């Protein structure tokens, strides 16, 4: 620090004297406004003009005081699915020193797209060379416009989808809503358009999200299947290190996150971290995770399994993975 200040003092000695002799310099011209859509792909170096215009642009001195690194658009995004295990995956990944991720869900490609990529990039954490910038917003997977928008940002973006038995996922989704709105109708009544005929109400989001094959078709119009990694929500609980190994390989990262990072919390019923990012203490997901599900009529559960079965089979074929939901 002392060396830095001495350097600044002696560097300034001549130039500052010259400025004093010539008078105060003219005020700098305002930087041109940043376009809503930045050219280039995530991780690419921007031009000098873009750096000057971007809100994240920082001089070496300001970088020294504010923390080194550059804010970049994400190279990888966890795009889904809701109640599949996305929060657990993100928290586990953040243990890796080469992963930097936004904690909150930006909802850029579904709710905030009109704000522009400059706004989006400003939400990102600073990264050093070789580190990966990530975010997760589970609703992207079921948002029709999201694939084209992400492809427009970068065709090379790596996508991660955490999937779970769609019946269990729907019940978990309902349980979350029930905790906030205790007076909502029963799961059974929301499941059917007509219970007598057994017609499932696919307009209900809790049901609709689990038709994975339908949503994946939309993504495959813009991204090759090899650019999407499908993580099993069930295996993320039973074998977190194994699933994290696959994720690290997919992201091109060294396998640093292993069995030694996890312990199983019997009370919560899922694995927790022995040490969280930036902490020496054990860390489990909060009380909003692992809620006890209400008892659901087993006839309704079976009808849902019958409903999802053909969609699951198609999803297995599309991904080349059997998730064992039947």
* 145-204 tens-digit pLDDT: 999 999 999 999 999 999 999 999 999 999 999 999 999 999 999 999 988 888 999 999
Q: Is the peptide bond before 81 cis (omega within 30 degrees of 0)?
A: yes
**Amino acid 88: pLDDT:** 93
Check residues 220 and 56 and name the one with the higher pLDDT: 220
- Cα–Cα distance for residue pair 76/156, rounded to 1 Å: 9
Average pLDDT over residues 8-19: 43
Average pLDDT over residues 300-317: 97
**Amino acid 62: pLDDT:** 34
- Cα–Cα distance for residue pair 110/141, rounded to 1 Å: 10
- Reduced 3-state DSSP string for the chain: CHHHHHHHHHHHHHHHHHHHHHCCCCCCCCCCCCCCCCCCCCCCCCCHHHHHHCCCCCCHHHHHHHCCCEECCCCEEEEECCCCCHHHHHHHHCCCCCEEECCCCCCCCCCCHHHCHHHHHHHCCEECCCCEEEEECHHHHHCCCHHHHHHHHCCCCEEEEEECCHHHHHHHHHHHHHHHCCCCCCHHHHHEEECCCCEECCCCHHHHCCCHHHHHHHHCCCCCHHHEEEEEHHHHHHCHHHHHHHHHHHCCCCCCCCHHHEEEECCCCEEEECCCCCCCCCECCCCCCCCCCCCCCHHHHHHHHHHHHHHHHHHHHHHCCCCCCC
Give the model's confidence band at 116: pLDDT under 50 very low, under 70 low, under 90 confident, else very high. very high
**Residue positions in the annotated binding site for 3'-phosphoadenylyl sulfate?**
83-87, 164, 172, 289-293
Check residues 19 and 321 and name the one with the higher pLDDT: 321
Residue listed under structure tokens 């949503």:
215
Check residues 53 and 324 and name the one with the higher pLDDT: 324
**Residue positions in the annotated binding site?**
83-87, 164, 172, 289-293
- Looking at every residue in the chain, the average pLDDT score rounds to 82
- Cα–Cα distance for residue pair 304/176, rounded to 1 Å: 19
Give the model's confidence band at 31: pLDDT under 50 very low, under 70 low, under 90 confident, else very high. very low
**Amino acid 68: pLDDT:** 83
Residues 312 and 323: beta-carbon distance below 8 Å:
yes
- Cα–Cα distance for residue pair 46/238, rounded to 1 Å: 43
Among 51-55, 131-135, 284-288, name the most confident range. 131-135
pLDDT exceeds cutoff 50 at 205 = yes
pLDDT tens digits along 255-269: 999 989 897 877 667
Give the model's confidence band at 46: pLDDT under 50 very low, under 70 low, under 90 confident, else very high. very low
Active-site annotation, residues: 83
Lowest pLDDT segment from 53-62, 107-116, 217-226? 53-62
Lowest pLDDT segment from 15-29, 36-50, 227-241? 36-50
pLDDT exceeds cutoff 80 at 94 = yes
Average pLDDT over residues 39-65: 33
pTM score of the predicted model = 0.76
Q: How many CB atoms lie within 10 A of CB 199?
A: 13
Q: Which residues, other chains included, contact 250 with Cβ-Cβ below 8 Å and sequence gap of 6+?
A: 158, 160, 229
pLDDT exceeds cutoff 50 at 66 = no
Query: Under CATH, which architecture does the 70-166+205-292 domain have?
Result: 3-Layer(aba) Sandwich (3.40)
**Amino acid 281: pLDDT:** 64
């Amino acid at each position: 620090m002392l060396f830095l200040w001495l350097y600044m003092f002696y560097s300034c000695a001549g130039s500052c004297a010259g400025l004093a002799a010539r008078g105060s310099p003219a005020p700098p011209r305002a930087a041109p406004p940043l376009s809503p859509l930045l050219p280039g792909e995530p991780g690419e170096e921007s031009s000098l003009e873009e750096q000057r215009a971007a809100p994240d642009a920082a001089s070496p001195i300001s970088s020294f005081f504010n923390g080194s690194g550059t804010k970049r658009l994400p190279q990888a995004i966890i795009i889904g699915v809701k109640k599949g295990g996305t929060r657990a995956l993100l928290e586990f990944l953040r243990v890796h020193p080469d992963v930097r991720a936004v904690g909150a869900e930006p909802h850029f490609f579904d709710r905030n797209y009109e704000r522009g990529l400059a706004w989006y990039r400003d939400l990102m954490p600073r990264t050093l060379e070789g580190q990966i910038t990530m975010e997760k917003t589970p609703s992207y997977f079921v948002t029709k416009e999201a694939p084209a928008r992400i492809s427009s940002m970068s065709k090379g973006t790596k996508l991660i989808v955490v999937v779970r038995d769609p019946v269990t996922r729907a019940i978990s989704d309902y349980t979350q809503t029930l905790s906030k709105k205790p007076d909502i109708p029963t799961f059974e009544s929301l499941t059917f358009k007509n219970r007598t005929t057994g017609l499932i109400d696919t307009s209900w989001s809790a049901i609709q999200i689990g038709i994975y094959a339908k949503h994946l078709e939309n993504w495959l119009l813009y991204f090759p299947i090899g650019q999407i990694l499908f993580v099993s929500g069930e295996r993320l609980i039973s074998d977190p290190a194994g699933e994290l190994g696959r994720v690290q390989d997919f992201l091109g990262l060294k396998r640093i996150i292993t069995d030694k990072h996890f312990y199983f919390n019997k009370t919560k019923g899922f694995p927790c971290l022995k040490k969280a990012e930036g902490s020496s203490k054990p860390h489990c997901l909060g009380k909003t995770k692992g809620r006890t599900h209400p008892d659901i009529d087993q006839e309704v559960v079976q009808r849902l399994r019958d409903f999802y079965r053909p969609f699951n089979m198609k999803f297995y074929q599309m991904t080349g993975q059997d998730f064992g939901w039947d």
